[in-house]
Chain A
Amino acid sequence: MSDASRRNFLRSATLTAGALTLAGCRSLSQTQWVQDVLYTAEGLTRRVQRLFAGTHTLAKEYAKSDIAPVFRANGTLNPPTDDYQQHVRDGFVDWEVKVEGLVEHPLTLSIADLRKLPSRTQITRHDCVEGWSCIGEWTGAPLKLVLAMARPKPNARYCVFYCADPMTDTDNDGVADDDFYYESHDLLECTHPQTLLAYQLNGKPLPVANGAPVRLRAERQLGYKQAKYIERIELVESFAHIGGGKGGYWEDRGYNWYGGI
């Protein structure tokens, strides 16, 4: 190739690549193979982060003076179902959390049962996937204790948390009625000392907006991983058959299952 033609080739190649990059940005994000390639980074990130964070490194715990005056609530703020509203009126006395699936000893726990378990109180920072952070004091039963009572079978790998808040308004009447929120964590995160079934925020019963009567705290993970309004915990070997198969309501809509980043 002559010097001049090589120069022309390089010049037009550079320009074409630039134009394609800009024009293609939108459709690239909707292209299946591009998504498949980009999602491969999640597994690498999870493995490397777990390598450094290990099983039991603790999230920082803050001082009382760091607690935010108002703990910001996000996502569902008040589940609109008749069932949930009845529980609100009753002060959640009849609320039950079932622990089932791959366990030797299925459990049904009331909030009073959870309160009878040894509790843990921690002042931690909640990091939302959107980018903001808020510090609050959580009190609850370590999930590890609940799992020890239920005795997971050897093939149990994940806890799936089923919630009482519907996310989709199927009949368009302005009230959500279907697609109940759910989330999942592996047993490593579930048996972490700071992973709680929390029933108190800042020393008071959990407010409705923050997930009353019981929500998950997994302090090394982002906010969308911290299921609110928990009704049922199912231990499974795989979550491929649940919902959209990605391990959570937002995961089925594109969020990474690994929420440590």
Chain B
Amino acid sequence: MLWGGGRARIKVSGEAIGAAGRARGVRKKQGGWSSLLGFLQFGANSDPGAPRLPFYRHALLVRITHWLNAGVLLVMLMSGLQIFNAHPALYWGAQSDFTHPLLSFSAFQNSLGQIDRGVTQLGPWHFDTTGVLGASWLDGTLLARAFPAWATLPGPQWLAMGRVWHFFFAWLFVINGGIFAFYALTRGHIRDLTPTARDIRALPHDIMQHAKLRFPKGEAAKRYNALQKLAYFTVVFVLGPLVVLTGLTMSPTMDAAFPFLPWIFDGRQSARTIHFICAFSFLGFFMVHIIMVVLSGTWNNIRSMITGRYLIEAGGEDV
């Protein structure tokens, strides 16, 4: 199975890989600009001089839905934080136990009545997070706000507009994700993303290879490795549906229509907490994703997600 729904336009021949494998021995040491450019193009532990063969990596539909999703998720996260700022506390169960939130952000005033401290509470712990969480600066004033203005959409406190952004882009998120899921399920792309028993067995080896920043070459680079499959599958088929369902559970009309929604999440406030965790899981995935894109070849990866064209460094490390 090849990447991008198995519709490779350009094949890497075994012949070329063999030759490239031999060529690796004669790698020359390069310095300064050319090694930086090599890193930006092909990432860590790659030989900029090695033969490379083009490979059609991502189908057009995957590329389009990927970039739309990137923009939509950014708006969803930032408008979601704007909404969260209206009541910056999380609870478990059907309703809010205002005296015992699981997580809360608050601002405190000094004796003159000016806000001077932001505090984050997580369970029994309290942290001074002035400037970032609980209290942060906007136009020269320290304001009581859970997340700072640079992280929210709109920047200033404006719940109504945050909701309008969130509920418009929620539709785009569902439609775009639905198109991708339909494509993946009907065109075999789901198999590229589903970890197999062999992948699970290879997991320790994959983790070691990742820790050493050694990324697959040759034939192995045409497939997602075990860690990639686990990450992509979880994000697309677990985190995606979960964030939508917990979002719907916060709607009182949806709860009347589908009483099982608050039931499966143990209540509306639990659903809100899980929704929040999902949002930050997306953010966590995004950060690891960007680090991996950079380490494994920024421009090679970005180009493959724009034009589909990916250059595979020949090499025999088939894992």
A204 CB-CB contact with B under 8 Å = no
Q: Which of B21-29, B80-88, B236-244 is near enough to bind chain A?
A: B80-88
Number of A-B residue pairs, CB cutoff 8 Å, is 133
Determine which of B84, B251, B257 lies in contact with A54 in the assembled complex, contact meaning CB atoms within 8 Å.
B257
- Contacts of B252-303 to chain A: CB distance below 8 A: 252-259, 262, 268-269, 272, 302-303
Q: A10-B306, A219-B256, A254-B160 are in contact. Are A49 and B251 (CB under 8 A)?
A: yes
Contacts of B154 in A (CB 8 A): 25-26, 29-30
CB–CB A261/B167 < 8 A: yes
Determine which of B96, B167, B168 lies in contact with A134 in the assembled complex, contact meaning CB atoms within 8 Å.
B96
B94 CB-CB contact with A under 8 Å = yes
Q: What are the interface flags for A242-261 relative to B under an 8 Å C-beta threshold, 1 for contact and 0 otherwise? A: 00000000100111100011
Contacts of B87 in A (CB 8 A): 128, 130-132
Determine which of A25, A49, A66, A130 lies in contact with B94 in the assembled complex, contact meaning CB atoms within 8 Å.
A66
CB–CB B86/A130 < 8 A: yes
By beta carbon, the residue of chain B nearest A127 is B252
- Contacts of A29-75 to chain B: CB distance below 8 A: 29-30, 35, 37-42, 44-45, 49-50, 52-54, 57-60, 62, 66, 68, 72
Q: A29-B154, A254-B164 are in contact. Are A220 and B252 (CB under 8 A)?
A: yes
A133 CB-CB contact with B under 8 Å = yes
CB–CB B86/A135 < 8 A: no
Determine which of A7, A29, A52, A66 lies in contact with B165 in the assembled complex, contact meaning CB atoms within 8 Å.
A29
CB–CB B255/A59 < 8 A: yes
- Contacts of B149-184 to chain A: CB distance below 8 A: 153-156, 158-161, 163-165, 167-168, 170-171
- The winner among B86, B250, B252 for most chain A CB atoms within 10 A is B252
Contacts of A219 in B (CB 8 A): 252, 256
- The winner among B164, B250, B254 for most chain A CB atoms within 10 A is B164
CB–CB B98/A60 < 8 A: no
A139 CB-CB contact with B under 8 Å = no
A221 CB-CB contact with B under 8 Å = yes
Q: A25-B153, A57-B256 are in contact. Are A38 and B164 (CB under 8 A)?
A: yes
Contacts of A111 in B (CB 8 A): none
CB–CB A44/B164 < 8 A: no
How many angstroms between the C-alpha atoms of A256 and B167 in the bound complex? 10
Q: A60-B259, A66-B94 are in contact. Are A133 and B268 (CB under 8 A)?
A: yes
Determine which of A37, A128, A220 lies in contact with B168 in the assembled complex, contact meaning CB atoms within 8 Å.
A37
How many chain A residues sit at the interface, stated as a range, is 35 or more
How many angstroms between the C-alpha atoms of A58 and B252 in the bound complex? 10
A21 CB-CB contact with B under 8 Å = yes
CB–CB A133/B96 < 8 A: yes
Contacts of B71 in A (CB 8 A): 21
CB–CB B251/A52 < 8 A: no
CB–CB A135/B95 < 8 A: yes
By beta carbon, the residue of chain A nearest B262 is A60
How many angstroms between the C-alpha atoms of A40 and B271 in the bound complex? 26
Quote the shortest CB–CB distance from A88 to chain B (angstroms): 26
How many chain B residues sit at the interface, stated as a range, is 35 or more
By beta carbon, the residue of chain B nearest A124 is B252
Q: What are the interface flags for B66-102 relative to A under an 8 Å C-beta threshold, 1 for contact and 0 otherwise? A: 0000010010001000011011010100111010000
How many angstroms between the C-alpha atoms of A10 and B67 in the bound complex? 13
Determine which of B167, B302, B303 lies in contact with A42 in the assembled complex, contact meaning CB atoms within 8 Å.
B167
CB–CB B161/A254 < 8 A: yes
CB–CB B250/A127 < 8 A: yes
How many angstroms between the C-alpha atoms of A261 and B95 in the bound complex? 16
CB–CB B74/A52 < 8 A: no
A232 CB-CB contact with B under 8 Å = no
Contacts of A57 in B (CB 8 A): 256-257
How many angstroms between the C-alpha atoms of A128 and B98 in the bound complex? 13
Quote the shortest CB–CB distance from A167 to chain B (angstroms): 15
CB–CB A261/B251 < 8 A: yes
Contacts of A254 in B (CB 8 A): 158, 160-161, 164
Contacts of B306 in A (CB 8 A): 10
Quote the shortest CB–CB distance from B163 to chain A (angstroms): 7
CB–CB A221/B153 < 8 A: no
Quote the shortest CB–CB distance from A77 to chain B (angstroms): 16
CB–CB A38/B165 < 8 A: yes
Quote the shortest CB–CB distance from B145 to chain A (angstroms): 13
Quote the shortest CB–CB distance from A132 to chain B (angstroms): 4
Identify the 10 closest CB pairs spanning chains A and B, nearest first.
Answer: A260-B253, A254-B160, A130-B87, A131-B87, A53-B257, A29-B154, A41-B168, A261-B251, A52-B257, A132-B96
Q: List 21 A-B contacts (CB under 8 A).
A: A7-B303, A21-B74, A25-B78, A29-B153, A30-B154, A41-B171, A44-B171, A52-B257, A60-B259, A66-B95, A125-B94, A125-B95, A127-B252, A132-B91, A132-B98, A132-B269, A133-B269, A219-B252, A261-B251, A261-B252, A261-B254
7 further A-B contacts with Cβ under 8 Å, apart from A131-B83, A260-B253, are: A35-B161, A38-B165, A59-B256, A60-B255, A132-B87, A132-B96, A261-B252
B-side interface residues toward A, CB under 8 Å? 71, 74, 78, 83-84, 86-87, 89, 91, 94-96, 98, 153-156, 158-161, 163-165, 167-168, 170-171, 250-259, 262, 268-269, 272, 302-303, 306
